[in-house]
Structure 1
Amino acid sequence: MRDLTRNGCRRKDSGDLSPERNRAMLHDSDQKRAISPISNEELARIREEAMDFANVGIYRYRMDGTVVFIDAGVLRLLDMEDEISDPSELFGRNISELIQYVEHPRSLRQQVIEHGPLKNVEYRYRTLKGEDRWVYHSVLLVNDAVTGEQELLVLARDITELKKSALALAASEKRWRTLIEGSQQGIMVCAGSPARIMLLNPALLGMLGQPESAWQGREVHDLIGRFHPEDREAALARFSALPETDPGTVRTELRLLDPGDRTIWVELRSSVIEFDGRPAVQTCVTDVTTRIEALRQRQEIEAKMHDAQRLESLGVLAGGVAHDFNNLLAAIMGNAEFLRDGVIGSPDLEVHVTEISHAAERAADLCRQLLAYSGRRKLAKQPLDLNALVEDTTRLIDVTVSRRVRLVRELTPGLPCISGDASQVRQVVMNLVTNAAEALGCEPGGITIRTGTSPMSRGDLSRHIMGESLAPGPYVHVEVQDDGCGMEEDVCKRIFDPFFTTKFTGRGLGLAAVRGIVRSHGGAFDVQSRPGQGTRIRAIFPVSDQPMISRKDTPIIADWRGSGTVLLADDEAGPRNITARLLTAIGFECVCSQNGEEAVRRFREDPDRFRLAVLDVVMPVCDGPGCLRELRRLRPDLPVLFISGYDDDSLKTELADPSTAFLQKPFRMTNLREQLRRLSAGEEPDRGSLS
């Protein structure tokens, strides 16, 4: 019969064991008999030490929250060791009095009832000393041995240090990802052999024009194909080779081709890092296209820098000179008005006075152009008839070009309107014709001025200078063609550059100014020229969707006379005196002030005395707008006329009131009279002209 053990397995008899094995078994048996059993008290002590070492505590409480047991480990978790030496002092307290949850958890009781025993439920609470703790709770339901009442037995393990480390690690990773993904620089990490792409950030993916899935895990050689053929070897060295020099000095500028074959200049900086526990190469990719293009243009920019600074200074000077000259011209034109009345009946003297007035008006127009050049005069756009402007301009040109030049007009009738500043568009026509006449020199020849309209596609516009960014649609053009000497192709490309000229006495600003005007009107150029065959320059302007406004001029009442007292404020003695004389001649009594503060003081003495006020805009102490505000506080219905050597662009808020008007210096008595008449009658002031 076989010898079986209690579990049914065959037991080997002693004959199956070697003598050495038998002796070893007898020795183990003797050792086991020599070990004395551990008492329950000793076992409890060992368990307590182990739990203390593992930061574990046990507590037990009833369903109503009454604590029935708590050990020293829980006191340590609650940070109450210094206050309570014997845990039994907390018996009978409610558990809610001992634990202040930072994030209020779901009830342990409810969870145990619903799901049974729980393990490692994370809780975050604040101790009575204000320190945050994270604790794992393992909970089960037990019954009281005496009453049979259900109670919760909780094993609490402190994981605060582990949790803080995990939170710090997560915060570090979040910061790292934020820096990588939010960086404007492209960043790529390559590792392995052969080198594979491990990471690409959004900035680099934007340069490549493809999603991350298209590149993740691919070999670096696949990316190298996106570089310019001449730069691929250098790119491969940067992406995959471990630099031997200091990473901070490894910099390479290469050409990267985007999906549209547009060249992007990039700067590569490589460094060795550890990525996922192994060596890797991190490469920062910076788009430096703008910088490279700037470097290419540096010489040209430096060459023009001096001229640009000179132009800026000239603009500031022009604005100031124009303003001061307008004040001088105000005195000249005002005195000419009085001279005209005194020489009536003397033809010889009338001629001289008329010449003085005409010269002053031409000087005033020149000052307005200076103000526009300096940026102190805003160009007002309105619907314009290009044919009418060409007619008006060429009448003036007829008397200035050589008699050997045949000036022919071929104007297409019924042209749509364009939106523009009349004086500026006239300057375009004038400069183009003047340039064509200079191309003819002293030789006889012809100049033809044509107008027309045509729809322009995007392809048509791309062949025009400054036309690439314009919208397709209908355009109106004016072109000037001459049969002069023509130009070489390299000269033709530069005729609109500032300071470029082929004339001995030229300054190279005429066509540059034309280019600026056309650009500000949303237009473009087409230039056709060949040596010996003449030149044709066409300027195109977009068609305006606003109709021409037929303006009906209100007849000026030349014999109107005012009455009452006018408050006049002007810091310049000459313009102030002549304006006072003009006001007196119109019929007003005039009270003069040297600045706005003095004017307010005089007005405050008797506000009802004054019929209206005439204020210079630019004055020391208190300027015109400031004076207006003070006067209107004292008398809101006071009519006010602003006068200035500048234009009215700075007075938009003030001129929104119909009881406020503007007149630019220098002005004629008829214009002053008409504005005052309208203000006195409560009519809308004339906004159509500045003087």
Structure 2
Amino acid sequence: VREIARKDGTSFAARVWSRLEATPSGLAPLMIGVFRSTASERARMQAVWAASQSQVERLATGVAHEFNNLLAAIMGHADLIALYDVPEAARGHARTIVESATRGATISAQILALSGSAPTRPRPTDIGALLAEVVELVRPRLPDGIRVALAVEGPLPLVEADPGQIQQVLINLLTNALRVAVAEVRLLASTSSLPAQTRFRSPALDARQAVVRVRVRDDGPGFSADALEHLFTPFYSERTGGHGIGLPAVRGLVASHGGAVDVHNDGGAVVDVYLPASDRPELALPSLQPDAGAGTTVWLVDDESAVLEFSRIALEAQGFTVRVFHSVRTALAAIRGGEPLPDVAVLDVVMPEGGGPAVYQALEEAGHAGSVLWTSGHAPSDVDLPGSASFFLRKPYTGRTLARLVQGARRQAQAGDDAR
């Protein structure tokens, strides 16, 4: 393929076939050739790529939805073991199950990020607090002789981020660093200006925009030249047993947040993530209080029986009065039959017969004054979730997390009643 110049100074890409032909008179040989513009070929390839990408996204979202529903049942029922008087060894096995399900959810999230179909629900987020949580999450599994040092150069502005997704970014980077570190991994959060050049930068990120930089630095051998060339290539890994989806997933999630990623070597590997600052106030998540559910009625609507069972038991253990519905149809029948409406409705987004949004609409038409907590193994980004947008719980989750958010949704409704 060659660039062919036109008389007007423009050019176009074309495939060229040519050969030299001798002339009978012995003069200089002639160049005979043909060329064909590759514009139509390129358009066809782009159309094929777009169709393939769309199929990959549909496959990823479908797999994530089903997989996370299974993980929700596994994690939830293992989490319930803590409610019973069982030997400590059994509790240990249950913790292992929960940790394994959590890792499964991590892989599911990475696949979604890789496909570009991970829905992002940003809110003002304290990145320093999020870093501290990540360090505590990985601390029990630190390799022998390796320490993690965390520094926050503050005060930092809040960042506009989906906390769950950015937590996944940080866990990915920290886990990668711990695998190669000799003695220490350092995490540093600070205000920063965006460098002129980065390995990846979202087109949505303005160079003049205020950003917060999160730096993950290890004291290992650093990236090889080949690795630096393939940083964001899916399934490329120089590590035995590596999946090659960690950094590509990081890139996908940072892209969805309108951020940037830079990578270089400096006495080890250094990865910088830049996230746009937020000018909105932080939304504090509620803490779970004793007897959190006393006097509160909850409807659970989900088409996964195992998830419903675990969720019901977990909420009833906190004092909530719970009613379960295995389908949209049965929930609609209860609403239209004039039955007392709940204080909080926990609605799975993706179900047959219209899913959670259909139940929400019926509740609104019936004069529901309570709150809604949305939950899903994967909520499509094109679904506009009405109601309490700050309360969305991605599967899988623990019973305690569910109870905490249900309590928070109830408080929000009560605050609205008081304001009126």
Shorter-chain TM range is 0.5 to 0.7
Relative to 1, partners in 2 of residues 1:433 and 1:336: Cα closer, same or farther, differing over 3 Å? closer
Query: Offset at 1:381?
Result: 1.7
How far 1:449 moved relative to its partner?
3.3
Residue-by-residue CA offset, 1:130-170 (whole Å, 9 max, x unaligned):
xxxxxxxxxxxxxxxxxxxxxxxxxxxxxxxxxxxxxxxxx
Q: How far apart in 2 are the matches of 1:600 and 1:451?
A: 48
CA 1:625–1:257: 2 relative to 1, 3 Å:
same
Match of 1:449 among 163, 187, 192: 187
1:167-217 Cα deviation digits (max 9, x unpaired)? xxxxxxxxxxxxxxxxxxxxxxxxxxxxxxxxxxxxxxxxxxxxxxxxxxx
| Cα gap change, 1:475 to 1:351, in 2 (>3 Å) | same
Separation of aligned partners in 2, 1:477 and 1:563: 42
- The answer to whether the aligner puts 1:538 opposite 2:272 as a matched pair is yes
Q: Which residue among 64, 67, 77 is the counterpart of 1:318? A: 64
Structure 2 residue 377 is the aligned partner of structure 1 residue 646 = yes
Matched AA of 1:319: H
Q: How does 1:194-205 map to 2 (within 5 A)?
A: none
Report the residue type matching 2:387 in the other structure: L
Residue of 202, 206, 210 corresponding to 1:471? 206
Q: Summarize the Cα distance change of 1:358–1:589 in structure 2 as closer, same or farther, 3 Å threshold.
A: same
CA shift for structure 1 position 258? 8.2
Distance 1:643 1:398, change over 3 A: closer
C-alpha separation in 2, matches of 1:654 and 1:620: 18
Separation in 2 of the partners of 1:385 and 1:652? Answer: 25
CA distance in 1, matches of 2:121, 2:44: 35
Structure 2: distance between partners of 1:307 and 1:652: 23
Aligned residue among 166, 170, 175 for 1:429: 170
Q: Distance in 1 between matches of 2:212 and 2:299?
A: 50
- Of 112, 123, 128 in structure 2, the residue corresponding to residue 387 of structure 1 is 128
Counterpart of 1:56 in structure 2 is none
Query: Which aligned pairs between 1:90-109 and structure 2 lie closer than 5 A?
Result: none
Q: Deviations over 1:58-92 (max 9, x none)?
A: xxxxxxxxxxxxxxxxxxxxxxxxxxxxxxxxxxx
- Which string of whole-angstrom CA distances, capped at 9 and with x for unpartnered residues, describes residues 637-667 of structure 1? 4757566543677874542699xx8766655
Paired position in structure 2 for 1:675:
406
Q: CA RMSD in A?
A: 5.0
* Kept after mapping to 2: 8 A contact 1:322/1:368: no
Deviation at 1:477, TM superposition (A): 2.0
- 1:255 paired to 2:2: no
CA–CA distance in structure 2, aligned partners of residues 488 and 361 of structure 1: 32
Is 1:562 paired with 2:295?
yes
Indicate how the Cα distance of structure 1 residues 258 and 455 shifts in structure 2: closer, same or farther if over 3 A, else same: farther
Relative to structure 1, the CA distance from residue 541 to residue 404 in structure 2 (aligned partners, 3 Å threshold; closer, same or farther) is: same
How far has the Cα of 1:482 moved from its partner?
A: 3.5
Query: Is contact 1:492–1:529 with CA below 8 Å preserved after alignment?
Result: no
Match of 2:358 among 614, 618, 626: 626
Residue deviations 1:436-475 (CA, integer Å, cap 9, x gap): 34345xxx4544433433334xxx42x2223495422243
Q: How do residues 348-359 of structure 1 correspond to structure 2 at under 5 angstroms?
A: 349=87, 352-353=90-91, 356=94, 359=97
Partner of 1:610: 340
> How high is the TM-score relative to the length of structure 2?
0.67
When Rg is computed on C-alpha atoms for both structures, the one with the higher figure is 1
Aligned to 1:438: 179
Q: Does 1:509 align with 2:245?
A: yes
CA distance in 2, matches of 1:680, 1:416: 27
| Aligned-pair CA distance for 1:323 | 1.9
Kindly tell me the number of residue pairs found equivalent between the two proteins. 385
If the length of structure 1 is used for normalisation, what is the TM-score? 0.44
Who is 1:265 aligned against? 12
1:495 and 2:241 correspond: no
Measure the CA separation in 1 of the matches of 2:404 and 2:139.
Answer: 36
**Alignment match, 1:402:** 143
Q: Is the 8 A contact 1:452 1:476 kept in 2?
A: yes
> SS at the partner of 1:427?
helix
The residue aligned with 1:523 is 259
Gap change, CA 1:645 and 1:330, over 3 Å in 2:
farther
Alpha-carbon contact 1:255-1:266 (below 8 Å) kept = no
Kept in 1, the 8 Å contact 2:76–2:307? The answer is: yes
Distance 1:294 1:515, change over 3 A: farther
- Write the distance in 2 (CA, Å) between the matches of 1:315 and 1:672: 26
Q: Structure 1: which 5+ residue stretches go unaligned?
A: 1-230, 232-251, 269-284, 686-691
Change (3 A) 1:256 1:423: farther
